[in-house]
Structure formats: C-alpha cells, structure tokens
Structure 1
Amino acid sequence: MKRLHPNGKAENALLAFCVVFLWGAAANVDIGITGFVMGIPFAIGLLALLHRRSWRFITATVCLAFGPLVGAIASDPPASRLHYPTLGAAVEVPAGWGYVNYQSEAGKNYLASPERLARPRTGGAAVHAFAQPLSLRLIRVETTHPDFVLHYHGILEDARGTRYDIDERELLESVAMGLLWSPTLAGEPALHRPWLHWLGNLMYWPLAPMAPFILF
C-alpha cells in the first residue's frame, strides 16, 4: 500500500475529519460525559497524523482541536449561552398555574398548567397552585434520556431562588399559545442552538452501523 505523503490531500482530509469530530465531543451536551469518551479515537488519530508535521502546525492544530474540548469540560453546558442563547429569558406565569411535587423525585418542582394540575401523573403527587402571577427566569437547560429518548428541560427560577422544571416543548408551546408570556422565547423552535445540537450528534457515531435498521 502506498504511504500517504504527510502533506497529501487525503491526510489533510483525515486531519480535518478528526478535528470536526473532536468539536462534536466538545459540543455534546445530550449524551453526557460519554461524549468525551466517544471523541478519544479521533484524538488518537489526530495525534498519529501530526507526528511528522512542523511544530507550528502541530501547535495550531492541537489548539484548534483540543481548545474547545478543554473549555467544554471546564464549563457548565446547561448554563452556557453558547449552547442555549435564550438563557436569562423572563417568563411570566399567570395565576392558576402551579407546580407538582412527586414523592419519587424529592426537591423537584414541575411547573404545570391548570389542566396538568387537575390530572397529575400517579406517584404520590402534591399539587400547588399559584394564587398570584409569578415572574421566573430561565437559568439552565438540562437533558434527560427516559427510554433512550432525548428530552430537554428548562429550569426556571423565581426571585427567592426556588426552581421549577418544565419540558422544553411544553414551555415553548405555552409561550406560542399565549398561556405564558416571554418575548425572548416567542417564536423560538428550540432552546438548544441548532448547529451545536447537530455537531454534538456526531458522538452517536458508534450507532452508524445500525442506521439502516433504524431508518428503514
């Protein structure tokens, strides 16, 4: 087999491929810490491809590839405006809305509409309705994976520091329908910045062999 020249187009393409997938590991917030683990093969491949390059090229490439990854590890993605540009949005909740506590999830307050308050899911639910309108602010966006399906949750906080959890879809649909008031969230299709969402999805690459069975 003919050895690739260190400056060959094919090797440069492989370098770029590894860099992009390392960016994917840095952008991942959906799969959790395993996103960094899934980026390890591309880190090894990148270092192997760099071993005969000039030190300037190596330094520039390593900073470009690993800088975002180090920053992502050191940061708190659920509270990052880079990932979630609408963080800080004010949300006005009318009287009649409230929250639900479940015995199985102590300390969690699930923000709920009057309709949801009337029929909470089973599990020792304690229902609380707001007698007056309440001003909240979006401070975090967290992810869960029940049944291996990704869900985003907005974390809203009041002036006293009490936090309320609400599903992304319910939050955005309620704002769109005028049930909640938030000029910042009005018209927003999602809380996660789209290009970072798709970049992070590269960390699903181990599932690529199963794609034909999933899609067809």
Structure 2
Amino acid sequence: MTLRFTAGATAATALGLGALTLFGAGSAMAAPGTVTWTDNGTVYNRTVSNTTPSVGEKITITTKFERTNATDEQINWLKDWHPTCLTYVTDSAKVIDSAGTHGVEPYLEIRPDFIAGDFTATSYKVIIKKRLGDVQPATFSAQYTVGADCAKGAAMTTGVEYLSNLGHHADFKTQGPSITVGGTPGGGPGGTGSADALPGGLGSLLSGFGSSR
C-alpha cells in the first residue's frame, strides 16, 4: 500500500493601512489536507476542507474512489469515521458518480464517531469502474460542525471503512487526514503536516437494513 499526504496551512494576508482600518489585521486562510493511498486496485483520495478549523466552523470531508484495473468494485456500506466533537450536518452526506449527485439519507446511520451509509438500500448503486470508454470513479462527502468540546491543538484522526464485493476494508479507520482545532495541520499514518505549506461497528445499521457483514 502506498500513501501520500499533503496539507495546506493557515496564512495571513497583509493589508494596507486603509484595509487594516476597515477589516483589522487580516483573515486566516483555510488549510485543506489530503491523504492518498492505493490498495487492492483502488486509489483513495481523502480530503478535509480545513485541517485547522475554528470552533463553530463547518468542514467537508471527502473520500474519492478510483479503480486501477478492469475489476469493478461495488460498495455495499461505508463508514466515515470522525472525532466525536464533530457534529454531522443533516442532509449533507452525498455520493457523486457518473450519474450525478445522490443523497444518502434516509439510509444513513449517525453515531458520535461515525456516519454509515447503506448503499444496498438506495435506489442507486455505488460502482467504481475502469474500462476502456467506461471510467467511473465515486466520491462520498459529508459536512461536520466543529464543536466547542474539541481539544485545542491536538491532532484528531479521521478515516473510512467500507464493505464491497472485494472485501471488508477495515484498515483505513485512522488513515487521515487529521484535524487540529486551533493548531497546525496534521497527517495520516506516515504523513506530515506543515504550517508553512500553502493550501493547495455497523451492527445497528446492518440489523436495521438487513445487510450482512
């Protein structure tokens, strides 16, 4: 398995005296972070829109799946793991594929440390393909609100877990990127964050929807 991590950083924009008078000392930029890895013929690209958010800010976590060979992969269910101090934003979970954008609710279980979508129950199927003339990646994304109970300056992990026709992928639950509230960007396993870089248990769900692990 290969792994890459890139992160943006918080930056201040210098303003002229007139602008300083109107707006203060400048505004911080978002510090997006991305971790990319390959496993079993699938390339994963996972991004946090801001790895150094403020309390009350909404952030988007996105995982993109792409195949590197002609064997199709169909995702049955997916968990998006996140710190418990993040709160899922209702109706924000989406899947984007070659047919467009699809909502995940009401087939979404919401827990303190993960959200889980059951794609065996949806009207669409999440299938990742790579064939001549038929390349179909898929992207899962969701928004979260940063809570006041997030530990300041501590790197908190995120990750993904899912079941597909190619197996149970349970090793990516802490893959990253990590989130540091009021701190500098962190990385997933094997990755690093840089303050100088510029932005560049599914039991209840399965029992509820009749899926099998």
TM over 0.5: no
- Rg bigger for which structure? 1
The TM-score range, normalised by the shorter chain, is under 0.3
**Structure number having the greater helix percentage:** 1
